[in-house]
Chain A
Amino acid sequence: MAKNNPITVQVLGICSCLAVTAQLKPAFVMAVSVTVVVALSNLIISLLRNTIPPRIRIIVQLVVVSTLVILVNQVLQAFVYDVSKQLSVYVGLIITNCIVMGRLEAFAMSHKPMESVMDGIGNGLGYGVILVILGFFRELFGSGTLWGYPVMEKLGLYNIGYENNGLVIMAPMALILVGVIIWIQRTKDKDLQEN
């Protein structure tokens, strides 16, 4: 999860990670959705891997992924409608998420189903962890709430002059925060340092 994290090491899936992490709840839901999609599509592609003709494999992969994404989207709309509205197009855009396609191409096409599922779950969680970390900090400092609960207000910080930081809500700050996470990770883990 840490050694080969899709966001901080492979630097994939940055767009969605900037877009959905302004608050913790959508970030969490997105993390779960992506994990489900990667794991299941890895499973299906892995099962089909010997029957897919190599020349049309991308199309086949896309069909599988899209089907799963549509399913996830329907489930979200049914059970967490408000979050699904917040995530808007980004659920649909899981289809184009580099992590999904990347794992299918690099792993599921050449590995057994069980291994593929584990790989999918691992990558999904690695993606999810970063999303949740980002969501946590951005919601806490940007809106002063956590999962909708007004933390900063309850702590009484507004009364002593504290204010929410508008920049944290914006995408550039998310990018900087990803940078900070990468920075911390590489400081700790010497193997990842490049020259």
Chain B
Amino acid sequence: MQMNGLRNFIDKIKPTFSEGGKLSWLSQTFGGFETFAFTPNKVTQRGSHVRDAVDMKRAMITVVIALVPAMLFGMWNIGYQTSEALVAQGGEAFGWWYCLWFGFVRMLPMLVVSYVVGLGIEFTYAQIRGHEVYEGYLVSGFIIPMIVPVTTPLWQLALAVAFAVIFAKEVFGGTGMNFLNPALVARAFLFFSYPTHMSGDKVWIAADMWGSDALTGATPMGELATGMHPQASALDMIIGTIPGSTCETSVIAIALGALILLISGIASWRTMLAVFIGGGAMGLLFNAIGANEYMQLPFYYHFIMGGFAFGAVFMATDPVTSAQTNCGKWIYGILIGAFAVLLRVLNPAYPEGMMLSILLMNCFAPLIDHCIIQQNIKKRQRRALAEGKEVKA
């Protein structure tokens, strides 16, 4: 009933926005909202989803659904970490629901900022260029608050989002044309611009509601970088009750998301598996060397610490920026995993290598694809020659 009301309303105001109507200059903006509310009666013709029969918006929403478990757990964990830190100071622990509520109150402003700024820019561009509003930002806007520390100031977040949307996406032609993952660009921007807010042991835990002093808690990788063995057990890391970027800690929640992505066929299992293989192989290699605490760390620790799992499932598999050919996906994924672990272990200045390694491989994905395709063409030419057919160069 309600939906019908909305549909009627949209149909009623539609002529105002279509050609010749009073507000026709806003038609792209209108279209964006209309298709957000209802499945449009056409499938996407080009751009990042030309290979699929669903509208791009549906695909993007599936990804958002896959992100929800991690998001919910992240919210709860924000509250839980603050509660733990308060208990350590002799304070009182939060209740289970209060943890969730506390995290929700912390996450909401970040989500709002991310969407308002990001979508604002997207709509402006769509309007200027006269194309429909693409949906890519639906996912990026959801992911960005999930991969930053909970204490990130909102104005810095807004700046990072604006930077990422304009320079990683719109200048290259918008959704489907970007070669870097916009969410990671936003994080990289924050990381290099405001390093004190992105690492160390003071940023991972939100102060309680009435703004007492900053609470401290080191991430396992932060501890390892300073040569300590991580205090959290492997089980804690898998469940995710450790300090970290807001929603990246729980391997279980991320695995749920991965399941949704794999069943719906939106993410490539090849890429995902390859990232873990690459990371594991590099971990084993370091085990063999074993020169310090970090190198001796069992290889599977790399999967459950920090952003490795989150990056492998949600960022490396981004259909726009990853490699497209099957063989290319293996190469791309393995190198991401390997570089991530390499950066973690050997470069103390960058405790988390996942972000940088995915961005690096984003740059190389088109090259990998090109080589694979050329190789394939050559192979077929040879085969055709062997069969005595004429070959066009």
What string of 1s and 0s marks CB contacts (under 8 Å) between A70-113 and chain B?
A: 00000000000000000000000000000000000000000000
Q: How far is the CA of A176 from the CA of B156 in the complex (A)?
A: 19
Q: Cβ of A183 < 8 Å from any Cβ of B?
A: yes
* Majority secondary structure of chain A interface residues (helix, strand, loop or mixed): helix
* Chain A residues whose CB sits within 8 angstroms of the CB of B197 once the complex forms: 163
The residue from A163, A167, A183 contacting B171, defined by CB atoms under 8 A apart: A183
Q: How far is the CA of A168 from the CA of B163 in the complex (A)?
A: 12
What string of 1s and 0s marks CB contacts (under 8 Å) between B194-214 and chain A?
A: 111100000000000000000
Q: Cβ of B167 < 8 Å from any Cβ of A?
A: yes
Number of interface residues of B (CB under 8 A): 13
Please state if A166 and B193 are interface contacts (CB–CB under 8 Å): yes
Q: Cβ of A156 < 8 Å from any Cβ of B?
A: no
Q: How far is the CA of A162 from the CA of B159 in the complex (A)?
A: 12
What string of 1s and 0s marks CB contacts (under 8 Å) between A146-188 and chain B?
A: 0000000000000001110111101000001001000100000
* Chain B residues whose CB sits within 8 angstroms of the CB of A176 once the complex forms: 167
What string of 1s and 0s marks CB contacts (under 8 Å) between B173-207 and chain A?
A: 00000000000000001001111110000000000
Please state if B171 and A166 are interface contacts (CB–CB under 8 Å): no
Please state if B194 and A165 are interface contacts (CB–CB under 8 Å): yes
* Chain A residues whose CB sits within 8 angstroms of the CB of B167 once the complex forms: 176
Given A176-B167, A183-B171, the answer on whether A163 and B156 have CB atoms closer than 8 Å is yes
Nearest residue, chain B, Cβ from A162: B155
Q: How far is the CA of A168 from the CA of B195 in the complex (A)?
A: 13
Q: Cβ of B20 < 8 Å from any Cβ of A?
A: no
Q: Cβ of B265 < 8 Å from any Cβ of A?
A: no
Given A176-B167, A183-B171, the answer on whether A166 and B153 have CB atoms closer than 8 Å is no
Min CB distance A174 to B, Å, is 13
* Chain B residues whose CB sits within 8 angstroms of the CB of A170 once the complex forms: 192
Please state if B156 and A167 are interface contacts (CB–CB under 8 Å): no
The residue from A161, A163, A167 contacting B189, defined by CB atoms under 8 A apart: A167
Given A176-B167, A183-B171, the answer on whether A165 and B153 have CB atoms closer than 8 Å is no
Which of A165, A170, A179 has the most C-beta atoms of chain B within 10 angstroms of its own C-beta?
A: A165
* Chain B residues whose CB sits within 8 angstroms of the CB of A168 once the complex forms: 193
Please state if B153 and A167 are interface contacts (CB–CB under 8 Å): no
Min CB distance B219 to A, Å, is 21
Nearest residue, chain B, Cβ from A161: B153
Min CB distance A130 to B, Å, is 19
Min CB distance A128 to B, Å, is 26
What string of 1s and 0s marks CB contacts (under 8 Å) between B135-178 and chain A?
A: 00000000000000000010110010000000100010000000
Min CB distance B153 to A, Å, is 6
Which of B156, B167, B189, B192 has the most C-beta atoms of chain A within 10 angstroms of its own C-beta?
A: B192
* Chain A residues whose CB sits within 8 angstroms of the CB of B171 once the complex forms: 179, 183
Please state if A161 and B155 are interface contacts (CB–CB under 8 Å): yes
Nearest residue, chain A, Cβ from B189: A167
Nearest residue, chain A, Cβ from B194: A163
Min CB distance A9 to B, Å, is 18
Min CB distance A180 to B, Å, is 9
Starting from the known contacts A163-B156, A165-B159, A168-B193, 18 additional A-B residue pairs (CB-CB under 8 Å) come to A161-B153, A161-B155, A162-B155, A163-B153, A163-B194, A163-B196, A163-B197, A165-B194, A166-B192, A166-B193, A166-B194, A166-B195, A167-B189, A167-B192, A167-B193, A170-B192, A179-B171, A183-B171
**What residues make up the interface of B, taking CB atoms closer than 8 Å to A?**
153, 155-156, 159, 167, 171, 189, 192-197
A-B contact list, 7 entries, CB within 8 Å: A161-B153, A163-B153, A163-B156, A166-B192, A166-B194, A167-B189, A176-B167
